[in-house]
Structure 1
Amino acid sequence: MTLLAAAVCPHPPLLVPQVAGRDPIDVRDQALAAVRRLCALEPDRIVLVGDDATEAVYDEMSVGSLAGYGVDLIFPLARAATAKTTATAPAATPGVGVGAGSSRRLPLSLTIGAWLLGEVGWAGPCAARGVPATTTPAAAAELGAGLVDAAAADGSRLALLIMGDASARRTVKAPGSLDPRADAHDASVAAALAALDVDALLALDPELSRDLLAPGRASWQVLAGALRRATPTDPARSWRSEVRYDDAPFGVGYLVVGWERSGR
């Protein structure tokens, strides 16, 4: 067994209580539940995948910051639950080193992923991959397959935490205003994730996703490539999917989905 499970979560800063307040938010609760379940399956390693300015690899020394959202918090990729601090991290471009011997700055998608892992208490090995909007479906699938191959090579049980928002054009008050294509786009993504439909995920059009401000497209296709490599034939027979959340409360599509092997 190489790929053990995966969770799909959105990455709005409002998931973090210090940004949005501590009142209950359904998508926050469901994202935490999905990541808590992912960790409870006891993978040997968790790899985060999320939108980035460039293709990048991040190790456990990497940190993310929400200073741009009004809070001076940094979230380490590794052991975030015990290493959170209110110190302000030095400015850096996502995916670019911030100096000799220092950590690398995570983009927003992976910063929120690090926060989720910290909140549920994950203290095991983890790493992260940044995938830009220019990544082709084939390249994203190859990246996902490579993650599974690497786990197979060292005999580890891999879990993926896939960070990605759907369209930010679901309503007239959405960040990108209304696009009439957004609802159908997001519904197709939700249906594909619910059905473990690798082909449908890989068929998502990069140009349409960019038009609809849906940064999760490439990351979802990394997940599709990983599942295809781990289970080449009919994954719906040996995996199960749970859609925990599917809504657009602020005009932005948020999906929380868990995938795991059947029979656990």
Structure 2
Amino acid sequence: MLVAAAVCPCPPLLVPEVAAGAAPELDGLREACAAAVGELLESGAELIVVVGTGPKAQVWTEGGAGSFHRYGVSRAVRLPLGGIEGPELSPALTVGAWLLEQAEAALPTHACAVRADTAPERLLGLGQGLAELADRVGLLVLGDGSACRSVKAPGYLDERAEGYDAVVAAALAEADTKTLAGLDPALSAELLVDGRAPWQVLAGAAEGAGLGAQLRYEAAPYGVGYVVASWR
């Protein structure tokens, strides 16, 4: 049963060593993520599952490691209670492992990568399955909003992006699983939304759980929509 979830974005710039001189610009985002992860770990969950996109669908149940070497930083992370050896985590899950490391998490942790183009019904079903892995499951859900929020954004400016992100933020603020489940894959892809698939896994896991929600952060630095929320 799902008892809590933390929803965070996953830009590598969250890691101060990667951001370097620009690190202070995202201090507010880091603080919101730390608060969300902290509440997740205090929820009484006996198993944490980290969910994010990856190049292929994959599950890590006995450890897993990631690094930020691709960004020129000699920094490695691992899942709590998992060996540093093992399958390499996707970039999104690597940020999740870093967030858990910062929080000194000690709970058993699995990780689940989903392809960004996965159909909603499969994601909802996956979420339902993850919620049944233990009596008390917590999810750390990683995903960014639209990367088309400004002319300097990776996808340039798309006038639809702000409205899309506002719908997602409102749904995350209300634990609105129906709205998240209904996010359009085609529109999400056009707006370069990384979080659609992980959010729909959350929607499946949380259906009928009766969780409340708190929106902790919503902004679009660098033209990419970032939102942080706690469900419990």
Q: Give, in whole Å, the separation in 2 of the partners of 1:184 and 1:121.
A: 36
1:201-212 → structure 2 map (5 Å cutoff): 201-212=180-191
1:60 Cα shift? 3.6
Q: Aligned-pair distance for 1:164? A: 0.3
> Structure 1 stretches (4+) deviating beyond 6 angstroms?
none
Aligned to 1:15: 14
* Aligned match of 1:120: 103
1:68 match: 70
In the alignment, the residues of structure 2 paired with residue 150 and residue 76 of structure 1 have an alpha-carbon distance, to the nearest angstrom, of 21
Aligned to 1:170, the other structure's residue is in SS state coil
AA at the equivalent of 1:75 = V
Deviation at 1:38, TM superposition (A): 0.8
Identical columns (%): 46
Q: Does residue 47 of the first structure (1) align with residue 49 of the second (2)? A: yes
Q: Deviations over 1:102-142 (max 9, x none)?
A: 51111111000000000000011000000111211100000
Instruction: Report the CA distance between 1:79 and its aligned residue.
Output: 4.4
| 2:17 maps to amino acid | Q
Give the TM-score taking structure 1 as reference length: 0.83
How far has the Cα of 1:157 moved from its partner? 1.1
Aligned residue type for 2:171: A
CA RMSD across the alignment? 1.5
Tell me, yes or no, if the aligned pair for 1:168 and 1:175 is still in contact at 8 Å: yes
> Secondary structure of 2:30's match?
helix
The letter for the 1-side match of 2:35 is A
Assess if the C-alpha contact under 8 Å between 2:58 and 2:112 holds in 1: yes
Q: Using the alignment, how far apart are the partners of 1:55 and 1:70 within structure 2? A: 26
Q: Is the 8 A contact 2:81 2:109 kept in 1?
A: no
The Cα of 1:173 is off from its aligned counterpart by 0.2
The separation in 2 between residues aligned to 1:241 and 1:135, in whole angstroms, is 26
Q: How many residues are aligned here?
A: 229
Partner of 1:259 in structure 2?
231
SS in structure 1 opposite 2:222?
coil
Equivalent residue letter for 1:27: L
1:196 aligns with one of 175, 185, 188: 175
Q: Is the 8 A contact 1:60 1:125 kept in 2?
A: no
* Greater C-alpha Rg: 1
Q: What CA distance in whole angstroms lies between the structure 1 residues aligned with 2:80 and 2:175?
A: 29
Contact 2:63 2:110 in 1 (8 A): no
Q: TM-score, normalised to structure 2's length?
A: 0.94
Indicate the residue corresponding to 1:99 in structure 2. none
Q: Which 5+ residue runs of structure 2 have no aligned equivalent?
A: none
CA-CA distance at 1:190 after TM superposition: 0.6
* Structure 2 CA distance for aligned equivalents of residues 176 and 224 of structure 1: 27
Q: Distance in 1 between matches of 2:62 and 2:226?
A: 27
Task: Provide the rounded CA distance (Å) in 2 between the counterparts of 1:45 and 1:150.
Answer: 8
Moved more, 53-62 or 219-228: 53-62
Unpaired runs of 5+ residues, structure 1, are: 85-101
